[in-house]
Chains A and B, each alone.
Chain A
Amino acid sequence: MENENKKVLEVEDLRISFDTYAGEVQAIRGISFDVKEGEVVAIVGESGSGKSVTSQGIMKLLPTPPARYKSGAIRLEGKDITGYNRKQMEKLKGSKMAMIFQDPMTSLNPTMKVGRQIAEGLKKHTNLSKDKIHSRVIELLTMVGIPDPDDRANRYPHEFSGGMRQRVMIAIALACEPKLLIADEPTTALDVTIQAQILKLMDKLNEETGTSIILITHDLGVVAKMADRIIVMYAGKPVETGNKHDIFYNPKHPYTWGLLGALPRVDTDKKEPLKSISGTPPDLISPPKGCAFANRCEHAMEVCLEHDPAMQEYGEGHTAACWLHHPNAKEYLDQIMEKHSFGVGGEKYANQNAGG
């Protein structure tokens, strides 16, 4: 039990902006979370909500400038790495924390043999001999489920399919047994059957190696399968966090309701159009002073436009930032809850996926 509570990563009030000609884009406007050993934390949100910037910000992969760390702290295994320079980060990247990207078709160097691309990180971070590195490469390829690894290691990326390439990416990331694996939409560019395989593989590796995973995705189905904890992000800020149960059965924030409602359902006979959340996210050059979601929220109240709601706790680890749950809005909330039954939708969806 002691081990489970060890925090691999702590992020505290991280704020990242991009300086552009049009002005300062506040991509991340304050996010705090931590990742415990062996845990899978999912960050969910639509395009532009700051998921990727968060993940690349933790790895310090963002070019600075234009990116700028405004405030906050990042701690890896208790060590503050916020102020680390490039040289210091090089020792951590690939060894303590690793990352896989969205599009496996473009994430591998087309002119370098796959085996060498996996070996690169090992060469950098370990003192293994050439033979040892080679056998480790073969071991990794076997681990991620690539058949005939001896032959495959000597091949170029274009001789692999998309799913195979993503497996190679996972092998590269896991080469030095990192404590933390950040997966930035690892299945978005893959077709559905391959998606399932890759997720299963990541799930298996998470269990076997104990590597913690931050899973960035906009696909709640992916989250339902894997995540221990979920962070729903909107306009550069988390709007709701909680475990799988909290988010799917008892969501508090209208944006989470929207995301759950927008999931396609296979369990109803009713022919109804797919639901969507109308409108677009706010301009992050001049974010609204109230709740960022207010202009798209069908339940928005006057207070939402004026004041940004603070994170409130609704159970252990379940937090949300929404005025609807303020005691003064109780009657209004009850009316809304009567009309819709959000929990049910999520429940159905969670069950449907748990089976698959």
Chain B
Amino acid sequence: MLKYFFQRFLIACVTILILITVTFFLIQLLPGDPFLDPKLPVEVKENMMEYYGLNDPLYMQYFNYLGNLFQGDLGYSLKYKNLTVNEVIMDAFPKSVELGLYALLISILFGLTLGIIAALEHNKKLDFLSMFIALIGISVPAFIIGGLFQYFFAVKLHLFPVAQWQGFSYTVLPSFALALGSVALIARLMRASMLEIVSTDYVKTADAKGLSRGQIILRHQIRNAVLPVLTILGPLLANLVTGTFVIEKIFAVPGLGKYYVESMQTLDYTMILGLTIFFGSFLVVVNLLIDFCYGIIDPRIRTKKAGG
């Protein structure tokens, strides 16, 4: 068990290092530099380049950056005055995380429920209804869902505030809007997985023991069916926490999404690098945690020396 965890951890570290390196050099391949403003006098630009160390040879920049990174310093933003990338993340990330976590909870809760109901009522009305909801969740883009939610639940029904980020009631609409796609994804996956397990031999064994339908579903079907769903939770969480630009924009949530997109447009090197590394590491860590959870739920993974 410990060896398994250590192994996974080591792989995760290597992955992050590769991510840093590749991102660093890819950015350098982009045409232009951060100080493209034509109004900027050439002398000022030179000063800036010198100040930020952008005139140094590339390998030196790389090792400088790595050195700072190991001290936890992601550097100053090249665009925002006196703002470090660390500060930006500290300020904006918690909001994105809060939104993402709510969305994840909603996805798991509603996704699993819909999937299980659909599988149990296979080819009946509830199955079709669940899968219809899932289809909408997958095919309608977030900005339309967001707009519709605002129109109906905020403007028409006055249930929740339209936008902004000032308390729990403000989180409800963006969380649901963000979650819908993942709800659909989990529901479909869970349904397929449940249907596969209904016809397995061990469910038949459970049936032959005389267990009731409920006992079979709870003890034998759901736990095994949840495994594939668990695998996608990692990427899903990372996705929900980070890939929320559209929803954050629509609901005026001051999250990280804005900075990510802006930094790409303005070639804010340190910001791009910092955010990419941050998101990347986040994804890797979440996947690592999922792997550990997997080991706990599925005993076969814990020991690699599976017996026959």
Interface flag for A94 (CB, 8 Å): yes
User: Cβ of B300 and Cβ of A156 under 8 Å apart?
Assistant: yes
Cross-interface CB contact of B220 among A98, A112, A121, A162, cutoff 8 Å: A112
B-to-A contact residues, CB < 8 Å: 200-202, 204-213, 215, 219-220, 223-224, 297-300, 303, 306-308
The dominant DSSP class at the B interface is helix
Please give, as numbers and ranges, the residues of chain A lying within 8 Å of B206 by CB-CB distance. Answer: 109, 120
User: Cβ of B299 and Cβ of A124 under 8 Å apart?
Assistant: no
Interface flag for A313 (CB, 8 Å): no
Bitwise, A92-107 to B at CB < 8 A (1) or not (0) is 1111001101010011
Give chain A nearest CB distance to B148 CB in angstroms.
Answer: 40
CA–CA, A306 and B211, complex, Å: 47
Interface flag for A86 (CB, 8 Å): yes
Cross-interface CB contact of B202 among A59, A99, A110, A159, cutoff 8 Å: A110
User: Cβ of B210 and Cβ of A124 under 8 Å apart?
Assistant: yes
Please give, as numbers and ranges, the residues of chain B lying within 8 Å of A172 by CB-CB distance. Answer: 205, 209
Give chain B nearest CB distance to A108 CB in angstroms.
Answer: 6
The listed residue with most B CB atoms (<10 A of its CB), out of A94, A103, A162, A169, is A94
A-to-B contact residues, CB < 8 Å: 59, 61, 86-87, 89-95, 98-99, 101, 103, 106-112, 117, 120-121, 124-125, 156, 158-162, 169, 172-173
Tell me the nearest residue of chain B to A90, going by C-beta: B210
Please give, as numbers and ranges, the residues of chain B lying within 8 Å of A99 by CB-CB distance. Answer: 208
User: Cβ of A110 and Cβ of B204 under 8 Å apart?
Assistant: no
CA–CA, A162 and B307, complex, Å: 9
User: Cβ of B208 and Cβ of A94 under 8 Å apart?
Assistant: yes
User: Cβ of A109 and Cβ of B210 under 8 Å apart?
Assistant: no
Please give, as numbers and ranges, the residues of chain A lying within 8 Å of B211 by CB-CB distance. Answer: 90, 94, 120-121, 124
CA–CA, A120 and B209, complex, Å: 8
User: Cβ of B208 and Cβ of A106 under 8 Å apart?
Assistant: no
Can you name 13 A-B residue pairings with CB atoms under 8 Å? A61-B204, A86-B213, A87-B212, A101-B201, A101-B205, A106-B202, A109-B219, A110-B300, A111-B297, A112-B219, A117-B205, A158-B299, A172-B205
Please give, as numbers and ranges, the residues of chain B lying within 8 Å of A86 by CB-CB distance. Answer: 213
User: Cβ of A169 and Cβ of B205 under 8 Å apart?
Assistant: yes
Please give, as numbers and ranges, the residues of chain B lying within 8 Å of A110 by CB-CB distance. Answer: 202, 224, 298-300
Give chain A nearest CB distance to B106 CB in angstroms.
Answer: 26
Cross-interface CB contact of A111 among B201, B213, B224, cutoff 8 Å: B224
CA–CA, A253 and B262, complex, Å: 85
CA–CA, A90 and B206, complex, Å: 11
Tell me the nearest residue of chain B to A120, going by C-beta: B209
Given A103-B201, A107-B205, A158-B300; 4 other pairs, CB 8 A cutoff: A99-B208, A106-B201, A112-B223, A124-B210
Please give, as numbers and ranges, the residues of chain B lying within 8 Å of A107 by CB-CB distance. Answer: 201-202, 204-205
User: Cβ of B299 and Cβ of A98 under 8 Å apart?
Assistant: no
Give chain B nearest CB distance to A288 CB in angstroms.
Answer: 31
User: Cβ of A101 and Cβ of B298 under 8 Å apart?
Assistant: no
The listed residue with most A CB atoms (<10 A of its CB), out of B206, B219, B297, B300, is B206
Give chain A nearest CB distance to B213 CB in angstroms.
Answer: 7
Cross-interface CB contact of B298 among A111, A120, A159, A162, cutoff 8 Å: A111
The listed residue with most A CB atoms (<10 A of its CB), out of B201, B211, B215, B300, is B201
Tell me the nearest residue of chain A to B197, going by C-beta: A109
- Known contacts A156-B299, A158-B306; is A108 also within 8 Å of B210 by CB? no
User: Cβ of A61 and Cβ of B210 under 8 Å apart?
Assistant: no
Please give, as numbers and ranges, the residues of chain A lying within 8 Å of B212 by CB-CB distance. Answer: 87, 90
Please give, as numbers and ranges, the residues of chain B lying within 8 Å of A161 by CB-CB distance. Answer: 307-308
CA–CA, A110 and B298, complex, Å: 8
Please give, as numbers and ranges, the residues of chain A lying within 8 Å of B201 by CB-CB distance. Answer: 101, 103, 106-107
CA–CA, A59 and B303, complex, Å: 37
CA–CA, A111 and B227, complex, Å: 10
CA–CA, A61 and B202, complex, Å: 12
CA–CA, A101 and B207, complex, Å: 12
User: Cβ of B204 and Cβ of A101 under 8 Å apart?
Assistant: yes
Tell me the nearest residue of chain B to A169, going by C-beta: B205
CA–CA, A89 and B207, complex, Å: 10
Give chain B nearest CB distance to A58 CB in angstroms.
Answer: 11
Tell me the nearest residue of chain A to B202, going by C-beta: A109
CA–CA, A117 and B211, complex, Å: 11
CA–CA, A166 and B97, complex, Å: 49
Please give, as numbers and ranges, the residues of chain B lying within 8 Å of A156 by CB-CB distance. Answer: 299-300
Closest 7 CB pairs of A and B: A94-B210, A93-B210, A94-B209, A156-B299, A121-B209, A106-B201, A107-B201
Please give, as numbers and ranges, the residues of chain B lying within 8 Å of A112 by CB-CB distance. Answer: 219-220, 223
CA–CA, A107 and B202, complex, Å: 4
CA–CA, A169 and B306, complex, Å: 19
User: Cβ of A92 and Cβ of B210 under 8 Å apart?
Assistant: yes
User: Cβ of B207 and Cβ of A106 under 8 Å apart?
Assistant: no
CA–CA, A16 and B303, complex, Å: 45
CA–CA, A169 and B299, complex, Å: 19
CA–CA, A255 and B200, complex, Å: 33
User: Cβ of B205 and Cβ of A93 under 8 Å apart?
Assistant: no
CA–CA, A161 and B305, complex, Å: 12
CA–CA, A44 and B304, complex, Å: 40
Please give, as numbers and ranges, the residues of chain A lying within 8 Å of B213 by CB-CB distance. Answer: 86
CA–CA, A90 and B211, complex, Å: 6
